[in-house]
Structure 1
Amino acid sequence: MSRADVFRRDLTSVYRSRTGTAVSAIVALTTVVAVGLFALASDVAALAGVGGLLTVGSIAALVFLGNPKQIAGVVVAFTVLAVAGALALSDPRTGVRPGMELAVLAVGSGLSFVLPLVCLVGSYAALVGERETGSVRFLLGLPNSRDEAYVGKYLSRSAVVVVPLVVCLALTGVVVAFTFESGSLLGMVGLTLVSVPYALLFVGIGLTASAYADSSNRAVAVVIAVFAVLRAGWPAFQFVLLQGVEDQFPLPEWYFWVGRLNPINAYVKLTTLFAPVGDGHPLLSTPFEGVSTVATGYPFAAVVLLVWTVLAPVAGILYYRNRDLL
C-alpha cells in the first residue's frame, strides 16, 4: 500500500468508529456553540451554568453512544438547546454586544485546552492498534515502507482533527463577524492559521507515542503524561525554580524564556495577535515594565510552535523505522 492507500484505509476506520465524529463534536462545542452563547447571552453567570451543563451532557452522550448517527444527532440537539438557552438569557433591550477580544479569548483559551486532548485521543492508537490486532503485517505489506505507513497515518489522523477545526472556525468567524462588536472575520481566519499547526503538533505527539508504545494502555499513559507535563508540570517547574530567587518580583527574564518554550504558551500568545488584550492574557504571565525579553514576543512564539510541530512527528518516524513490530 502507498501512503495514499494507508490514508484512505485509516480515515475510513476512524470514521466507522466514534472517534472522528466525537472529535468533530467536541471541536464544534468549543468554537461555534461557545461563541454563539457569548453572542446571545447577557447574563455571564447564567451563561456559564448553561454552557457547563450542555458541555457535560453532550460529552457524556458521546461516551455512552457508539453509533456515529446517534452522536451527530445528540450534538445537533445540544447545539439547538444551547442557542435556545442563550436566547432565553439574552436581553435585546440592552443592545450590548460582546467585543472581538472576548471571542478570541474564549475560542483561543478553549482550544488551547481542548485541541491537545482531542488530537492525542485521536492519534494515540494509530500505530499500536495495528500491532495489537495483528493487522500490522497487512499495513506493512509490499511495496509499502514504514515511512509510507507512518506518513499515511499522520495525514489521516491530522485530517480527522484539522478538517472539522477549519470548518468550525469558519462558522465561528461568521458568527463573530455579524454578532460581535467590531467582530472580524479576518481575525478568525488568523486564529485558524495558528490553530492548525497547534493541532498538528499534538497529532505528531500522539503518533510518536503510538510508535513507541507496546500496547494501547502504555500509549494512553504516554499521552496523558505529555499533556500533564505541558499543562501542569511545566508551570510547576517554573514555580520551583522561582523559589530559589531572593527577589521574585518583578519576575526575572529567564522565567519568561522557560515559560514561553512551552508550545501551549506559544499558541496562546499567538492568539492575541487577532484582538487587543488590554490587561494581558489570563493564561500568560506578563512582564513588568523594565523587564524586556524577546521570549514574550510574537516571532519567538511562532518559532517555538513551528519547531515543536515539525519535531514531534519527525521523532516518531525516526524511531518507527527501526522499531521491532512483529
Structure 2
Amino acid sequence: MGSVNWRGLARKDFRDAVRSRSVVVLLAGFLLLYLLIGYAGVELVGDDFDAVVSLAGLATAFVLPIVSLGVGYKSIIAARSSGAIALALSLPHSRLDLAVGTFVGRAGVVLLPAVAGLTVAAAVAGVLTGPPPVAYLGLVAVTVLYGLAFLGIAVGVSMGVGTSRRATGGAFGAYILFVALYDQLIQLLVFVLFRFQSVGLPDWARLAQHLGPPQAYSYVVSELFGDVSVVTQFTTTAPPGWFTAPVAVLVLAGWVGLSLAVGYRRFRRAEL
C-alpha cells in the first residue's frame, strides 16, 4: 500500500464529506451541543467541573455514535453505486488504499468537531468554575477512540454490504444494539441459558456487558472521574476485578480494528 495513494484518497474523501450539507448540519449541531453543555453543566446542574464531565460524557455516549455512523455508513457503498470506486481503482490505487483512505478521511470529519466541541465546553466551563482537571485530557483522548470505534463499525458495514439499504440497516442496527439494547440482551441471554431461573450474572456475562463501545467508553470516563458515574446508564453490574480502564481502552481499539478487518475482507472479494 503506497502511503501517497491512501493519503491522497483521505484528503479527497475529507473534502467530499465536508461538502455534504447533511454532514455540515450534523457537525454544526454537535458543536452547538457541546457549547450548551459547557454552560448548562455549570449554571443548571452544578457549580463545579464534574457537572460538565457528567453531561459531556453522557451526551457523547449517545450522540457521537450517531455522528460517526452517519458520516461513515455510506462512505464506500455510495462510491460503489456511483462508479467512483471503479474510477479510483483504475488509477494506481488498491482496495486497501481506498479502505484506509476512506477511514482516515472520515475520521478527520468526525474527530475535528468532537475535539473542538470538548475544548469549547471546557473553555466555557473554565471561565465559570476555573481550569479543567488534567483528567479532562483523558476524556478527550478516550472520546477520540470512541468516535473511531463507531466510525470503524460504519465503514466496515459500508465495505461489507452490497446496497445502500443494507448499509442504512446495518448502521441503524448497530446503534440500537450497542446504545439501547446491549445490556438487556446480555441479561436475556443469561436468563435463557439458565432456563429462566433467577440467578446472579456469571463473570463471563459481567465481562460481556462491558465489551460494547458505549459500555467500555463510559467505564473509562467513570474511572477517570471517580465520583462521576456515566457507566450506570449502560450497564447495572460491575465487571470482573481484572477489567480496568486500560482493558476498556483496548476494547475500543479492538472494535476499530475488528470492524475494519471484517468489512475489508468482504470488500476485497466483492465484485465492483
Place the TM-score, normalised by the shorter chain, in its bin.
0.7 to 0.9
Contact 2:41–2:125, Cα closer than 8 Å, also in 1: no
- Counterpart residue type for residue 294 of structure 1: W
Equivalent residue runs for 1:251-262 within 5 Å: 251-262=201-212
Deviations along 1:32-82, whole A, 9 cap, x unmatched? Answer: 2222122233xx6xxxxxxxxxxxxxxxxxxxxxxxxxxxxxxxxxxxxxx
Aligned residues: 265
TM-superposed deviation, 1:103: 1.6
Q: Tell me, what secondary structure is at the counterpart of 1:282?
A: helix
- Asked whether the equivalents of residues 190 and 274 of structure 1 are also in contact (C-alpha less than 8 Å), the reply is yes
Quote the Cα distance in structure 1 between the aligned partners of 2:32 and 2:43: 15
Deviation at 1:161, TM superposition (A): 0.4
Instruction: Report the alpha carbon displacement of residue 179 of structure 1 after superposing the two structures with TM.
Output: 2.0
Contact 1:127 1:210 in 2 (8 A): yes
Q: Does the Cα contact within 8 Å between 2:14 and 2:109 map onto a contact in 1?
A: yes
Contact persistence 1:127–1:211 (CA under 8 A): yes
Residue 113 of structure 1, CA deviation: 0.9
8 Å Cα contact 2:27/2:67 also seen in 1: no
**Per-residue deviation at 1:25?**
1.7
Tell whether the 8 Å contact from 1:176 to 1:185 is kept in structure 2 after alignment: no
Could you say which residue in structure 2 is the equivalent of 1:6?
9
Counterpart-to-counterpart distance in 2, 1:248 and 1:183:
47
Contact 1:4 1:152 in 2 (8 A): yes
Residue in 2 that maps onto 1:105 = 54
Alignment partner, residue 92 of structure 2:
143
Distance 1:17 1:116 in 2: 19
Q: Quick check: 2:152–2:256 contact (8 Å CA) kept in 1?
A: yes
Mapped pair 1:229 → 2:150: no
Query: RMSD of the alignment, in Å?
Result: 2.4
2: CA distance between counterparts of 1:252 and 1:277?
26
What CA distance in whole angstroms lies between the structure 2 residues aligned with 1:120 and 1:292?
30
Aligned to 2:71: 122
1:136 partner letter: I
Against the structure 1 CA distance between its residues 208 and 278, is the aligned structure 2 distance closer, same or farther, given a 3 Å change threshold? closer
Name which of 216, 221, 243 aligns with 1:271: 221
Following TM superposition, where does structure 1 have runs of at least 4 consecutive aligned residues deviating by more than 6 angstroms?
none
User: Would the aligned equivalents of 2:103 and 2:155 in 1 still touch at CA under 8 Å?
Assistant: yes
Pair 1:316-2:267 in alignment? no
Structure 1 residue 178, shift from structure 2 partner: 3.0
Tell whether 2:134 aligns with 1:186: yes
Q: 1:248 to 1:137 in 2, by over 3 A?
A: same
One-letter code aligned to 2:56: V
Matched residues in 2 for 1:102 and 1:37: separation? 9
Q: Kindly tell me: are residues 155 and 280 of structure 1, through their superposed partners in 2, closer, same or farther at Cα, counting changes over 3 Å?
A: closer
Cα distance change of structure 1 residues 146 and 241 upon mapping to structure 2, 3 Å threshold: closer
* Amino acid in the other structure paired with 1:237: L
AA aligned to 1:277 is: D
From 242, 250, 268, give the equivalent of 1:294: 242
Distance 1:9 1:30, change over 3 A: same
**Structure 2: 5+ residue runs without aligned partners?**
none
How far did 1:184 drift? Answer: 1.9
| 1:285 alignment partner AA | T
Instruction: Give the % identical residues.
Output: 25
Per-residue deviation, residues 135-167 of structure 1 (Å, max 9, x unmatched):
222121221111111111111111000111111
- Determine whether 1:241 maps to 2:189: yes
Maintained 8 Å contact 1:253/1:293: no
Q: Which amino acid aligns with 1:149?
A: L
Q: Look at both structures and tell me which one has the larger radius of gyration over its CA atoms.
A: 1
TM normalised by structure 1 equals 0.74
For residue 22 of structure 1, report the CA deviation from its aligned partner.
2.4
Task: Provide closer, same or farther for how the CA distance between residues 188 and 26 of structure 1 changes in structure 2, counting only shifts above 3 A.
Answer: farther
Structure 1 unaligned runs (5+)? Answer: 45-96
